[in-house]
């Protein structure tokens, strides 16, 4: 599941991933799309032309782009840092291990603008790891053949982006409907709907919290009465009508 994301504007074409300790730049004096030590990975990325997006996943994550690093990184304080090459900007998050196995994939080796990081891909050895195929907009996932995929994981995958908004919303609503049927817990359903409300807000800068909150209430009242696919389509059409122009 996704545990974090950050966008950084790079002054120089280097992105450092790994321990929160200072990076020994003398070690990273070479060129190339990626170099690594036991503590850090250097990724060659696009400087001064646009943001570089980094997403972090625990256990299972998307298999997109080119895998450029697969190995352990020593994190003395069990914190993982994403840092701009000059050290002016950084993002730090807590992880579950002091020496996790880390997968790093980029969209364009040598000129990365999208970076996907997966920590501890289900704790399975390389020989046992499998890549499961997903249908658009959902990418292939790094998973274990023995580790179960829970409904919460499927829900998080559905709302991990905003492309193919209708398909993502329909997939999320399918999970919520199944959660209500299986567990009969309105508290859990309300929790999921709140997450959908927050996701809707990012579809367009002009969408307000009040608009999305009202939409969430409508979803809660219609859930189970209509198919997730139709409910998702009507929800997005209604938001677009209230906004007065296309969502994207």
| β 114-119/52-58 pair status | parallel
Task: Delimit the domains of the chain by residue range.
Answer: 2-146, 157-243
Give this prediction's pTM. Answer: 0.70
Q: β-pairing, 62-63 with 66-72?
A: unpaired
**Which residues does 118 contact at the CB level (< 8 Å), separation at least 6?**
57, 58, 59, 60, 61, 102, 103, 142
d(CA 90, CA 25): 16
- Number of helices (H) and strands (E) in the chain: give both, helices first: 5, 13
DSSP for 142-207? Answer: EE-SSSPPPHHHHHHHHTS--SSHHHHHHHHHHHHHHHHHHH--HHHHHHHHHHHHHHHHTT-TT-
Interval 181-240: pLDDT, tens: 888 888 999 999 999 999 999 999 899 999 999 999 999 999 988 999 999 999 999 999
Question: How does pLDDT run across 121-140, given as a tens digit for each residue?
Answer: 865 444 434 444 456 666 66
- CA angle (139 as vertex; 40, 85 as ends), nearest 5: 25
Give me the pLDDT at residue 1, please: 76
| Separation CA 188–CA 169 (nearest Å) | 17
2-146, CATH topology level: Substrate Binding Domain Of DNAk; Chain A, domain 1 (2.60.34)
| Run of H or E residues at 66 | strand 66-72
β-partners of residue 17 are 41, 82
pLDDT per residue over 49-86, tens digit each?
888 999 999 887 777 788 899 999 999 999 999 999 88
Asked whether the predicted pLDDT for residue 113 surpasses 80, the reply is: yes
Give the Cα separation of 46 and 240 in Å (integer): 34
Beta strand pairing call for 14-18 and 40-44 = antiparallel
């Amino acid at each position: 599941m996704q545990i974090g994301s950050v966008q950084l504007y790079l002054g120089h074409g280097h992105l450092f991933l790994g321990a929160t300790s200072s990076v020994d730049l003398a070690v990273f004096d070479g060129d190339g799309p990626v170099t690594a030590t036991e503590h850090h990975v250097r990724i060659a990325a696009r400087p001064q032309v646009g943001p570089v997006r980094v997403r972090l996943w625990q256990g299972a994550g998307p298999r997109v782009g080119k895998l450029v690093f697969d190995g352990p990184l020593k994190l003395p304080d069990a914190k993982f840092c994403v840092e701009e090459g000059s050290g002016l900007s950084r993002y730090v998050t807590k992880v579950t291990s002091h020496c996790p196995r880390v997968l790093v994939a980029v969209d364009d080796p040598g000129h990365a603008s999208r970076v996907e990081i997966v920590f501890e891909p289900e704790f399975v050895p390389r020989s046992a790891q499998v890549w499961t195929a997903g249908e658009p907009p959902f990418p292939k996932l790094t998973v274990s053949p023995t580790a179960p995929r829970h409904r919460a994981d499927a829900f998080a995958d559905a709302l991990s982006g905003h492309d193919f908004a209708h398909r993502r919303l329909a997939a999320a609503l399918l999970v919520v409907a199944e959660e209500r049927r299986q567990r009969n817990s309105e508290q859990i359903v309300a929790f999921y709907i709140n997450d959908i409300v927050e996701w809707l807000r990012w579809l367009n800068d002009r969408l307000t919290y009040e608009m999305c909150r009202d939409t969430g209430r409508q979803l809660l009242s219609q859930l189970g009465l209509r198919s997730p696919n139709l409910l998702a389509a009507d929800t997005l059409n209604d938001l677009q009508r209230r906004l007065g122009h296309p969502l994207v």
